[in-house]
Structure 1
Amino acid sequence: MPLPPPVFADILRYMYTSTNLLDIAKAIAAETAFSGEMRCNEPMASHTTFKVGGPAELWVRPQGDCFPGFVAAILGQARALGIPLFVLGGGANLVAADAGIRGIVLDTTGWSGGAGWEGGSVKVRAGTVVDEAVEAAAERGWGGLEFLAGMPGTVGGAVWMNARCYEKQVSDVLMGTEILDENFQRVWVPCKAGDFAYKRSPFQKRDVVILAAEFRLEKRAAADIRQEMEAHRQDRKEKGHYRYPSAGSVFKNNREFGKPTGKIIDELGLRGLRIGGAQLAPWHGNIIINTGNATAADIRKLTEQAARRVKDALGIALEPEIIFVGNWEENG
């Protein structure tokens, strides 16, 4: 795909302001057979599992086959005009600032499905819900993705984070990833084990958009696949992942600490610690929940306080797994 030219020559005259973002996106949409949604001042609380976050100046959700072309064009214009652009998946590991997100939020969830089943692998679009991909594989008698059963978020987000659970991580089954690279080219990136680490992928250091991922599968007895999937879903339920709005684990686990982060926090008596409407879950030290009226600032302050208390008591520096995005300098 060639580098997208300016959609209209006079667009380059725009200076970035919130008042013309919609005009810019509409102009690009007109040239790329756009289908989907775009709205100004869209609340991020509607697009994150924590259910917090202020407005995105412009939220855009391209849908269907227009996605790659539209995304390449809007990325090009954003770069040319200095417009901030944030790529959103399922919002499952995210805290958006109460003051919102400047610029464009590109929602990838309209780019879903499109699975290509070829022998022992499947290629899935990045906006596909992870659990739906797992279910689709199981229905066809293919195993390999069971460890992801019940995980919220999208395939693209899982690849970007190299999601890990139940002693497996995405890179264990990932064959390759299709991306829009820094030059807006559609490129296939084979998975190399050395490029991935615990909760880290090479895409975290690159200004790219994940389009699709291909996973290695294996034939298994349908009953065995289903049993493992349901066991993982039940385990997540018992750990309270779905009781309140949350993002699952707040901090990464580090084997050098000698025990899981949740246990470290529990042993310091921090379960139940609360700031505003945010609380360290009474049943699990490594989950922060929105009890109903939490703000993004509450969640961030509680994350920082928990990390500080652990550091002061044990000298251990916890690394947050959740990502804080948006306009925090105006968060108050």
Structure 2
Amino acid sequence: MRVVQLEVSCGRQSSKTRVVLAPLTRQRSYGNVPQPHAILYYQQRTTKGGLLIAEATGVSDTAEGYKDTPGIWTNEQVEAWKPIVHGVHEKGGIFFCQIWHVGRVSNSRFDGVEIHGAYGYLIDQFLKDQVNDRTDKYGGSLENRCRFALEVVQAVVDEIGADKVGIRLSPFASYSEAPDSNPEALGLYMANALNKFGILYCHVVEPRMVKLGEKFETPYSLRPMRDAFKGTFIVAGGYNREDGNNAISTNYADLVAYGRIFLSNPDLPRRFEIDAPLNKYNRDTFYVPDPVIGYTDYPFLPTDV
């Protein structure tokens, strides 16, 4: 079974490939303004009907935690995003802008918005019981800890409509020292609670983590969340071609998001389709400010392959 060229209905959006570009912070938006070189970067990774999720984008001047990450709180930033979105549309892609606030980590012509509720940033800090020590209605019980995240979802849905909203969650992860004592219960509660909004998708990071080429398996599974959530379910976290095919063939997920290997293989869906070798990514160039090196200079397959 191929990962690509399989149609999935996503509300009013329609993705014709199961391969999704995961949101990847690249730190090349100088002064927090998206730059023209991002047009080529996203266009390179666009396939007709493919879903691209933009790098995490700040919602205010207090939301940023890292140098030269993009924002969307000023008119200048909004205008800078427009040609990027247009470039993706020109190649027939679907573009979602991931919005975030980094919380304690602090130092629309868009097709939709992905709410960043993962990785120990602001929303995740409310969700996780090991860092949320509030004693008001936003702390303590599972229902209370999830209240802020669901209020954010409601606010975004009210602004742009449920069919343009997705959310990313990482209940099993402990980024920024933000773990939870019962991640299975947390993930299942959120999956069920999100159904009342009718949002487009839920994008969840696998319990397993991949670091320096090593896979760390855990006894946890996203199957309960997948079965509970009624919309499109996206999984991410160290997937390769074989893993992705298996996730789709077993109905474990509707779509699979790829990060580092999509970064280094702008034509990843085509490589997966014909089972071609992959470029190796260079971790040293992930966050360098250069507008080309490690950004738009990864090679494509020859056209005759």
* TM-score (normalizing by structure 2): 0.31
TM-score (norm 1): 0.29
Larger Rg: 1
